[in-house]
Amino acid sequence: MQRKLTAEFLGTLWLVLGGCGSAVLAAAFPQVGIGLLGVSFAFGLTVLTMAFAIGHISGCHLNPAVTLGLVAAGKFSSSEAPGYIAAQVLGGLAGAAILFVIASGKPDFVMAGFASNGYGDLSPGKYGLVAALVCEVVMTAFFLLVICGSTSPRAPAGFAPIAIGLCLTLIHLISIPVTNTSVNPARSTGVAIFAGGPYIAQLWLFWVAPIVGAVIGGIVHKVVEGEDRLSVRAAESR
C-alpha cells in the first residue's frame, strides 16, 4: 500500500506541475506561448506519461473523483479510497508549491489566478455557476467512461494510457473557457490554496461536480458493459 500511495503522490504532483505549470509559465509567454491548445496537451501528456510509469503500481488514478468513480464501477476497493485521496491531495499541493517557487522567481511575477478553476467572474469566459456545474459533471462522467472502458480486460491491451491521455486533452480543449477545466479535485485544491481568496470560496464546486460526474460515469459503465470480469480482489493482489 505504501508503494501505491507514493506512486499516487508523485503522479498527482507531476500532473499539477506539468499541466498547471504549462498554463502559468508557458501559455502566454511572449512570442512562443503555447496557448490553450498547448495547455490541453500538457494535461493529457502528464496522465499519459504517468499511466505508463506508475499504472502497474497504483493504477494511476491521480484524481479523487477517478478513485471514487472506479469504486462506483466496482473496479476499486472502497477501503483503499481514503488513502488514495489523501495522497492525491498532498501530491497536488506539492506540485503547486514547486510551481509557485519556480513562477515567483520571475521579477514581475503576479499571482493572478495561478491556473485555478472558477465560475462567474473567475471563469475564463465568464460562464455562470450552472454552466460550470454541468460542464464539470459531464466531462468527468465521460472521462470515467473512457478510463473504465479502455482498462477493461476486453479492451485492446496496452492502449489505455493513450486513450485516457487523449481524452483528458479533449476535455481541456472543450472546457478551459468554461471553468479552466478541473475534473480533478486534487488539481483544483493544490493551486487554489496558493491563489487564495475567491478561488478557495469556489473550490466546493470542483469537488462536488467532478465526484458526482465520476460516480455517474462509473455506474453507467457498469450498466452498459456489465460487471467487469476483473474483480477488485484480483486487482488488489497485483
pLDDT value of position 227? 55
The CATH topology of domain 1-227 is Glycerol uptake facilitator protein (1.20.1080)
Question: Considering the chain, what is the average pLDDT of its residues?
Answer: 92
C-alpha cell at 25: 509559465
Distances (CA, A) of 145 to 17, 73, 124, 148, 206: 26, 10, 27, 5, 19
DSSP 182-211: -S-HHHHHHHHHHH-THHHHTTTHHHHHHH
Instruction: Report CA-CA distances (Å) from 187 to 33, 121, 150, 224.
Output: 22, 20, 23, 29
- Which residues in the chain come in under a pLDDT of 70? 29-32, 227-238
Alpha-carbon distance values, 92 to 14, 116, 128, 140, 231 (Å): 8, 12, 26, 18, 29
The confidence score (pLDDT) of residue 197 equals 93
pLDDT in tens, 31-85: 668 999 999 999 999 999 999 999 999 999 999 999 999 999 999 999 999 999 9
pLDDT value of position 33: 83
pTM score: 0.90
Please report the pLDDT score of residue 153 as a whole number: 87
Q: Indicate the domain borders of the chain.
A: 1-227
Q: 237: helix, coil or strand?
A: coil
